[in-house]
Chains A and B, each alone.
Chain A
Amino acid sequence: MRGGSGDPPRKVAMASSDPILVMRSIDKRFPGVHALDGVDFEARPGEVHALMGQNGAGKSTLIKVLTGACRRNGGAITFEGRDFHASSPADAQAKGISTIYQEVNLVPTLSVGENLFLGRLPRRWFGVDWRAMNRRAREVLAAFGLHLDVERTLSTYPTAIQQMVSIARAIDTDARLLIMDEPTSSLDKHETEVLFGMMARLKAKGIGIIFVTHFLEQVFRVSDRITVLRNGRLVGTFDTRSLSRLDLVSHMLGRRPEEAEPSRAARAAAPGETPRAPLLSVRGLARTSAIEPFDLEIAPGEVLGLAGLLGSGRTEAARLLFGADKADGGRMDVRGRRVRLHAPRQAIALGLGFCPEDRKTEGLFPEMSVRSNIALVAQRSLSRLGLLSRRTHTRIADEFVRKLGIVTADLDVPVKTLSGGNQQKVILARWLARRPALLMLDEPTRGIDVGAKVEIERLVESLAQEGVAVLFISAELEEVVRRSRRILVLRDRKFVGELEGREVNVETVMNTIAGAE
């Protein structure tokens, strides 16, 4: 049944404490970035070892280094007691370390059975032996409790099933260590349970599992140990049972709640201030596998913060509000009138603006000039016929280059030549030029120097004073706490709390994220 080795089935103790994988002092640099700085990591057979960290923490780099998708600059890897070098993920697989990706790495147009055996199809004298292949496929899947029609095209099965076929293939190719890279991101609750069932089976077989994920709940449910990375360094490896949620959140954010600056007194509504009618009001808005139904209201001049760890669903919620994704349910009202958004154009016409999290792939036009990147969105409000006035564009661009302190040789250089911080400012400028009624900022200060961060925060404040509603999304809790009057907290793709007044402080936010224990 097992392809490859003729070893007798392993009878490994359920969770032996001798590590099967040891990574020591792993170092990896990219131009300008120290992605991994002396990271140690180990995995034991029969355990689920979660690997967590925020953006840029180094999780994916560590995995890439292990599987050979990129080469390390320093450190040593030992697998099963021997030096381990993989030249590619396929090579790593041949040596016993397989990876399951969020996007299933099988061929959707081929059958389940063939996907299991691609590259090692059983043969007879005349060629591929389909009957034997299908028979073996059924056996392999049955060992995992899966009873599928192996002749059916893979894509006709839901993602969760496809993932399990992927896992079955990995195990059948004699993987002793399985890396699962955010496997539950596209699964619903039920499918996640089925996946966990499979993971339990694997544990029983003595397979080691590295579980890379953002989901707090899931980590506490299935993992035995948790390793947290931050900024390329190892924060620590902890035993799941003895780690509190708050501790985990603290490790990931790199601070303890009590270390927060003494938060200023409640930014509650000043006495006598009448509550304003909401600009945007949302009830039960949801998108399958992206964000669960949520309610939200935001008034003009209000700064509403969305706080949560990476992957908790903040961006997904914002995209729904902006019409970048279509909602699967719920209703949205702008200025009291119901709207059904299916394209950002509509949202923009209604006075909404959105600074995306990933400015490189979703925000900038890299080859185009700074001037164009700033002025292009405002174009529609400049001239109905689309007549171009270079002078007007220059004027707009100049105004905001000054206002935001964008450092650039001149307006004509391609925006890709600017530093990250300045690029972010360009995108901000673009939206400010349109004078929106509601501006959504998704991680606006990521990758920006301290000085620029302060400027942006001040900008948010002045916007609010001018009557612009601001939706402020950030993983930097101090920022969110400082600027927001109210904070909505997310965890694992759903809204779990609303804080206002005196609750708006870092400690409460962290506790809400962590969840009551």
Chain B
Amino acid sequence: MKLPRKHVALLASLGVYVFLYAAASVYYADRNFFTPDVFLNFLRGGAVLGIIAVGETLVILAGGIDLSVGAVMSLSSVVIGMLVMEAGLPPAVAIPAAVALGGCLGLAMGAIIHYVDIKPFIVTLAGMFFARGLGFIIHLESISIEHPAYTRLVSLGLPLGGGHTLALTAVIFLAVVAVAIYVTRYTSFGRNIFALGGSEEAAVLMGLPVGRTKMLVYTASGLCAGLAGAVLTFDQSSGTHGAGVGMELDAIAAVVVGGTLLTGGVGSIVGTLVGVLTIGLLREVIVNYVGNLNSGMTSLAIGLLLLVFVLLQRFMTRRGAGAV
């Protein structure tokens, strides 16, 4: 049996989520909170943020940070919109192109971080501005996407029996999560990420491919952001500019709430899934259920949640890192 110590963080996050969910279910029993459809909706609504957060998790695990993801997502959605509506390309071409663009931007940032040795925070912040600007250059306004394939896509879903369907976006989200879990758990690339984040010095001394891992991890984040942009277009049937604003922060919050240390080396994809759901839950409850409060409260709540978890992490690393 695995010792609980390693999984304390994940269990804590899960516990918080379950508690909040249960509380909401009880409090809003009259509004049928505790139904499968409501939960499935959470999965669907959290897909875009979730996919971004998965990429962000990889970067943070490796000891870095990526602030450009929201902007890259936006850019990707606009690119798809432009390619489909104005260049007349089929979605089957436009979507991979946009995802690839995200990956290229990620690779570029990773290369600058590794070879030029500028802090990730600055490079990805500049990347955010760059991506946002690029989006406006490619197409000034948001584009509404009207394409037969899209109308079909929006209604697609995985039937679950009992009249419930798992929306396409949720399926993609869960698929990304599954792939990421596999990568982090069963591939050397994934293990190298943990090693790099745990101690870059040790990783170098052990001869692990540090530079390659760094660049790949930012590329992966870019790919995720690109994919999230595509999923956004499924959701909204349009390519939008403003969608990603602040999303990188939500992603980081989701990662932290999920138990991943911001200093790197410790964490999990499953934790991020829990974090994404928690944030989605908070947003939903505050905006739709509590009523009198406004969206500002969600930022506040998420900020508070982030603070609590960051302090917890600090407290635990101060204690747990040393010898028993």
Contact = CB atoms under 8 A, between A and B. Distances in A.
A binds B: yes
B195 A105 contact: no
Given A89-B205, A107-B203, A158-B323, A153 B5 contact: yes
Interface stretch (B87-95, B114-122, B180-188): B180-188
Contact of B182 (A89, A110, A127): A127
Contacts of A118: 191, 195, 206, 208
A149 B5 CA distance: 13
Interface stretch (A46-54, A90-98, A251-259, A394-402): A90-98
A262 interface: no
Nearest to B199: A107
B229 interface: no
A89 B204 CA distance: 9
B198 A107 contact: yes
B2 interface: yes
Contact of B194 (A91, A94, A110, A149): A110
A114 B195 CA distance: 10
A109 B323 contact: no
Interface residues of B, number: 30
Most chain B CB inside 10 Å of its own CB: which residue of A91, A106, A107, A153: A107
Most chain B CB inside 10 Å of its own CB: which residue of A91, A110, A128: A110
A90 B201 CA distance: 12
A155 B321 contact: yes
A127 B199 contact: no
Most chain B CB inside 10 Å of its own CB: which residue of A90, A109, A121: A109
A159 interface: yes
Given A90-B204, A155-B321, A128 B199 contact: no
Contacts of B322: 155
Contacts of B185: 127-128
B9 to A, nearest CB: 12
A119 B206 contact: yes
B217 to A, nearest CB: 16
Nearest to A160: B323
A224 to B, nearest CB: 28
A119 B208 CA distance: 6
Given A118-B191, A151-B2, A155-B322, A109 B208 contact: no
Contacts of B266: 109
Most chain A CB inside 10 Å of its own CB: which residue of B182, B185, B198, B265: B198
Interface string A102-132: 0011111110001000110100001110000
Contacts of A90: 204-207
Contacts, number: 80
A156 B188 contact: no
Interface in B148-195: 182, 185-188, 191, 194-195
B186 A109 contact: no
A128 B186 CA distance: 5
B321 A126 contact: no
B207 A88 contact: yes
Contacts of B195: 107, 110, 118
A114 to B, nearest CB: 7
A155 B207 CA distance: 21
B315 to A, nearest CB: 16
A157 B185 CA distance: 23
B323 A159 contact: yes
A283 interface: no
B323 A156 contact: yes
A154 to B, nearest CB: 9
A128 B324 contact: no
Nearest to A111: B6
A157 B324 contact: yes
B297 interface: no
B191 A155 contact: no
A152 B2 CA distance: 8
Contacts of A157: 323-324
Contacts of B202: 104-107
Interface string B203-219: 11111100000000000
A91 B191 contact: no
Given A128-B191, A155-B320, A157-B323, A107 B265 contact: yes
Nearest to B6: A153
B258 interface: no
A128 B206 CA distance: 18
A158 B322 CA distance: 8
Contacts of B188: 119, 121, 128
Interface string B28-47: 00000000000000000000
A104 B191 CA distance: 19
A88 B266 CA distance: 28
B324 A158 contact: yes
Interface in A395-453: none
Interface string A55-98: 00000000000000000000000000000000011110110000
B197 interface: yes
Given A127-B185, A149-B3, A155-B320, A109 B207 contact: no
Given A94-B207, A156-B324, A159-B323, A108 B198 contact: yes
B265 A109 contact: yes
Contact of B191 (A89, A105, A121, A153): A121
B194 A108 contact: no
B265 A105 contact: no
A152 B191 contact: no
Interface string B257-281: 0000000011000000000000000
A184 to B, nearest CB: 16
A157 B265 CA distance: 17
A93 B205 CA distance: 9
B320 A156 contact: yes
A164 to B, nearest CB: 13
Nearest to B204: A90
A151 B3 contact: yes
Contacts of A151: 2-3
B205 A105 contact: yes
A370 B189 CA distance: 50
A108 B194 CA distance: 10
A7 B66 CA distance: 47
Given A90-B204, A93-B207, A155-B321, A128 B198 contact: no
A119 B5 contact: no
Interface in A209-238: none
A94 B201 CA distance: 17
A127 B182 CA distance: 9
14 contacts: A90-B206, A90-B207, A94-B207, A110-B194, A127-B182, A127-B186, A128-B188, A128-B191, A151-B2, A152-B6, A155-B323, A157-B323, A158-B324, A159-B323
Given A108-B265, A157-B323, 13 more contacts: A90-B205, A107-B202, A107-B203, A109-B199, A109-B266, A110-B194, A119-B207, A126-B186, A128-B187, A151-B2, A152-B6, A156-B324, A159-B323
Interface of A: 88-91, 93-94, 104-110, 114, 118-119, 121, 126-128, 149, 151-153, 155-159
- Chain A to chain B: the 10 pairs with minimum beta-carbon distance, closest first: A127-B186, A90-B207, A109-B198, A107-B198, A109-B265, A158-B323, A105-B205, A107-B199, A128-B186, A107-B195
